[in-house]
Amino acid sequence: MGDPLFVDGIDLGVVLFVVVKALLGFAFVLVGVILMIWFERKVLADMQNRVGPARAGKWGLLQTLADGIKLIFKEDVKPDRADRPVYRLAPYLSVAPAFLTFCIVPIAGAFGGDDNGTVELFGHETFLQVADPPVGVLFLLAMSSVGIYGIMLAGWSSGSKYPLLGSVRASAQMVSYEAALGLSVAAVVLLTGSLSTHAIVDSQADSFLDWNVWRTGVLPFAIFFVAACAELNRAPFDLVEAEQELVGGFHTEYSSIRFGMFYLSEYMNLITMSAIIVTLFFGGPAPAFGPDGPLLGLGWFVLKLVVFLFVFVWIRATLPRFRYDQLMDLGWKRLIPVALGWLLLLAAIRIGQDEEWFTANGFWNGTLIVAIAVGIAFICGVAILVAMRGSDRERIDEGSAELRKVP
């Protein structure tokens, strides 16, 4: 389908339109980041019985701005042993993917009924999102992988040990959780039959019962959410910048606005991830109930976004940090098998619908297949459990052997 903006060919007007959309999108995210940092500090403070930023502007709203200005004017220290070009490049590599991911999120538009979120502005029909590539969801996964380069290169080029350790942790963690993330996204894609974010929103617009959370059975959403936390390097998976162990993690050696850019990208990613969750599982700008309209769509989108941002902050205020082996255990031994199994189940149901297993016609066929599938699933499950028990026992043995060495 694609964005109707490009249907009549590309002229200067269309190019201008795209540029303006990109600028507005960027402004949206930047303002969002400024408010989000304030919001996080304020909510965290409230949950910890503190007051939080209260001096700069009304309710401390301008605190982030003040911090940003301060960062710009601070001295930009480059370590002696840093790899200069890479050291300079890394912050941009971190910010750019964060924004690019946000480009594919539909942020407004009327989706209910026969509307498909198209809006006519200045004689052009368009979607209210910066871009709607046909490979939308793949683009999301690609960009979140590219974001790792920013962190990895920052740690590596700093010429210092703590950043290197932090960045190695970060990349290992993000690569591990990418798999669970991808598998839970695949469930959504399987149901929608399209990779385009716009089509995904359109398919769940009619009623809140059509939201993918329910249609995929909540589990992919839960897995996506946990994996997103890990992807964002946020609590309880913030081992990347575990202060007690690694000083500041991969950005230890960064100062001034270069540090500011990492900070910016971190919160951009947070907003983007929440927006992606809203898009994939909660119908994006489509209303949960009541009237529909392009601007109302924006309202619904922001509302849903804020709910998830709040939950992210809430989790940070509540949960202690995971140990590294717990993190890897959760990712590889729990989330990935569960996500994979659930995806196969959804796929099986989909095929069953096509093959009429659920009608009298193909019932026996279906039952046979289900019986075989359950058998195989049981064997696989037992195999996985045995393997986990084995590895656990081995680790305990190793540990006690280590203990026995002590005189």
Let me know how long the chain is.
Answer: 407
Q: Which is nearer to another protein, 47 or 142 (CB)?
A: 47
Residue 218 contacts another protein per CB under 8 A = no
CA distance linking residue 165 with residue 247, whole number of Å: 11
Separation of first and last alpha carbons in the chain:
71
Tokens of 368: 């046979």
Task: Show the tokens assigned to 171.
Answer: 């990349």
Scanning 42-50, 93-101, 133-141, 283-291 for contacts with another protein by CB under 8 A, the matching segment is: 42-50
Q: What's the min distance (Å) between Cβ of 404 and another protein?
A: 34
Shortest distance, position 329 Cβ to another protein, whole Å: 16
Which range binds another protein by CB under 8 A, 47-55, 170-178, 276-284, 375-383?
47-55
DSSP 47-95: HTT---S-SSSGGGTTHHHHHHHHHHHS-----TTS-HHHHHHHHHHHH
Q: Which stretch binds another protein (CB under 8 A): 146-154, 294-302, 314-322, 344-352?
A: 314-322
**Is residue 378 part of the contact set for another protein (CB under 8 A)?**
no
Identify which of residues 50 and 161 has a Cβ nearer to another protein in the complex: 50
Q: How far is the CB of 265 from another protein (least distance, A)?
A: 27
Our CA dihedral for 376, 380, 385, 391, rounded to 10 degrees, sits at 160
Decide: is 318 part of the binding site for another protein (CB under 8 A).
Answer: yes
Sequence-ordered alpha helix ranges (H) in 193-328:
197-203, 212-215, 219-231, 243-246, 256-281, 294-318, 324-328
46 part of the interface to another protein, by CB under 8 A: yes
What's the CA gap between 305 and 40, in Å, rounded? 14
Count of residues engaged in binding another protein, rule: CB under 8 A: 12
CB 247 within 8 A of CB 167: no
Q: Does 319 bind another protein (CB under 8 A)?
A: yes
- The reply on whether position 314 binds another protein by CB under 8 A is yes
Q: Which is nearer to another protein, 179 or 315 (CB)?
A: 315
- Which residues are near another protein by CB under 8 A? 43, 46-51, 54, 314, 317-319
